[in-house]
Structure 1
Amino acid sequence: MIALSLIGIGTGNPDHLTRAAEAAMRAADLILLPRKRAETAELLDLRATICAAVVGATARTATFDVPERDPGPPYLDGVEAWHDAIAAAWRDSIARHLPDGGRVALLVWGDPSLYDSSLRIAARLGAGAQRVTVGVVPGITSLQALAAAHAVPLTALGAPLLVTTGRRLAAEGWPAGVETVAVMLDSGCAFERLDPSGTMVWWGAYLGMAQQSLLAGPLAELAPTIRDERTLLRARHGWIMDCYLLRRDAAHAAASGR
């Protein structure tokens, strides 16, 4: 039997860990640490630092290589195949280090509930010989960290919030019927394709980390600045995680939905 805990660890600040997260880490027989491209080694190092700070020298960790996703179309087919490959990497690592079963923890950036596929990948583990149960320890999301960093509410008064991806925003434009849109996973700066009239943007990268970068103001003025800042930061650090909040005044939001 494998008891897998998906532990949300926030957005890079060890202070984002909840007491429940710390307890789950200490209870684990094995903590799996993902290793991606060489330029993202900082993310692996940060997870290892968190393990050392919470569990100490007794922490039993194992590093596994995360397969690369085929970037070619169709997108969803590529993602499904990629998730299959990641599940296989989890399964192989668990079998190697815990052949008799036990408690396994995975440290998930942000929270497993929001644009993270750890739960979908974990569901694939049941196909193996070992029985797997999955539990989730919630963490601070990037959107919570973004709103806190800018000291701005995610929602307008009595109004809905729509959370979407850069891919959808680029393909479909401003969603109808909403004034506020939170955008994640936008490597292509989809905000540049929007009519910026009456729109404010709150953008943040490396939220909660020492290299945190924030920009806020009218989208018409900041769109090129955000693009340039993303390019600069990616070149400097080798990777970037960012998200942003867009809010239109009611008149422009209504006009965009027609």
Structure 2
Amino acid sequence: MPEAGIHLSLIGIGSGNPDHVTLQAIKAINRADLVLIPRKGADKADLADLRRDILVNVLTNPATRIADFDLPVRDAGNPDYRAGVDDWHDAIAEVWSGTIAAHLPAGRGRVVLLIWGDPGLYDSSLRIAARLRPAPALEVIPGITAVQALTAAHRIPVNDIGAPFVVTTGRHLRDLGWPPGVDTVVVMLDGDCAFRHIAQEGIHIWWGAYVGMAAETILSGPLFTMAPAIAEARTAARRRHGWIMDIYILRRARA
């Protein structure tokens, strides 16, 4: 660790199964002076609780402190999506800085953030960390992604033999349609069941919500028959838990 300054570790903890935390992650957690846990509101208290459960199981260093912070809410009404996200990330970086300064006032020490899934796949922690001033020494520890958890739950490979696949968002699938040049599409961050807005014949879907968690729910089958059932299951699960994280794979039959 540097003689002075903050060392920040972004640690992927997988998609909800405490057993997915790697030995590398456990070692880094136990080197930490401070572990930050985001609170995303009462509806998503499960996410903070699961992070705490992980720490109960792996944290053995009595000197490591744990601090909660309230995650700012993104302004979903901003018509400029990218500008809205940039403002949100600025606000989060400010909260990170304030929380770290409150608990490490000397400006030195190791700080850990437990990142859902992996810091490198559809997660903004690295972009937020780049906003911190002074810049911390940065360490990234990979985690199991929702893509891996989904394919494991369904016991399928993500790709056909020798074939590429695309990882995209529900927004892009809905607005731009099926990505060209591929027969397999992994869809994340879909709050609107974008699979309902594409031609459904000849497509198979593998869907999962809360993959890796105790509440894991998976469904699969031909898209034209499964789309209504998945949309209904998603609505019911969100009503039951107050929040939802889901992901799915679409595969188009080759000509």
- Scaled to the shorter chain, the TM-score interval is over 0.9
Give the residue type in structure 2 aligned to 1:68: V
Give the residue type in structure 1 aligned to 2:59: V
Where is the helix percentage greater, Structure 1 or Structure 2? 1
What is the SS of the residue equivalent to 2:131?
Answer: helix
Pairwise CA distance, 1:133: 1.1
The structure 1 residue matched to 2:94, chosen from 85, 88, 96, is 88
- Asked whether 1:37 is paired with 2:41, we answer yes
What is the TM-score of this pair, normalised by structure 1? 0.95
- Asked whether 1:61 is paired with 2:99, we answer no
The structure 2 residue matched to 1:118, chosen from 113, 125, 133, is 125
The structure 2 residue matched to 1:78, chosen from 84, 89, 101, is 84
How many residues align? The count is 248
Pairwise CA distance, 1:197: 1.0
Partner Cα separation in structure 2 for residue 184 and residue 5 of structure 1: 25
Partner Cα separation in structure 2 for residue 48 and residue 175 of structure 1: 39
- Asked whether 1:132 is paired with 2:136, we answer yes
Matches within 5 A, 1:139-150: 139-150=143-154
Matches within 5 A, 1:198-237: 198-237=202-241
Corresponding residue of 2:11: 7
Pairwise CA distance, 1:131: 4.2
Partner Cα separation in structure 1 for residue 41 and residue 85 of structure 2: 18
Give the residue type in structure 1 aligned to 2:253: D
Give the residue type in structure 1 aligned to 2:136: V
Partner Cα separation in structure 1 for residue 130 and residue 31 of structure 2: 22
Distance 1:154-1:193 versus aligned 2 partners, 3 A rule: same
The structure 2 residue matched to 1:107, chosen from 114, 117, 137, is 114
What is the SS of the residue equivalent to 1:124?
Answer: coil
The structure 2 residue matched to 1:189, chosen from 180, 187, 193, is 193
Partner Cα separation in structure 2 for residue 65 and residue 56 of structure 1: 25
Segments of 5+ residues of structure 1 without an aligned counterpart are: 252-258
2:30, 2:61 within 8 Å by CA — same for their partners in 1? Answer: no
Pairwise CA distance, 1:52: 1.5
What is the SS of the residue equivalent to 1:167?
Answer: helix
Corresponding residue of 2:103: 97
Give the residue type in structure 2 aligned to 1:110: G
Pairwise CA distance, 1:12: 0.7
Moved over 3 A (4+): none
1:50-106 deviations in Å (ceiling 9; x for gaps): 111111472410000000000021111100000000000000000000112100000
Corresponding residue of 1:255: none
Partner Cα separation in structure 1 for residue 181 and residue 139 of structure 2: 35
The percent of aligned pairs where both chains have the same amino acid is: 57
Partner Cα separation in structure 1 for residue 168 and residue 122 of structure 2: 9
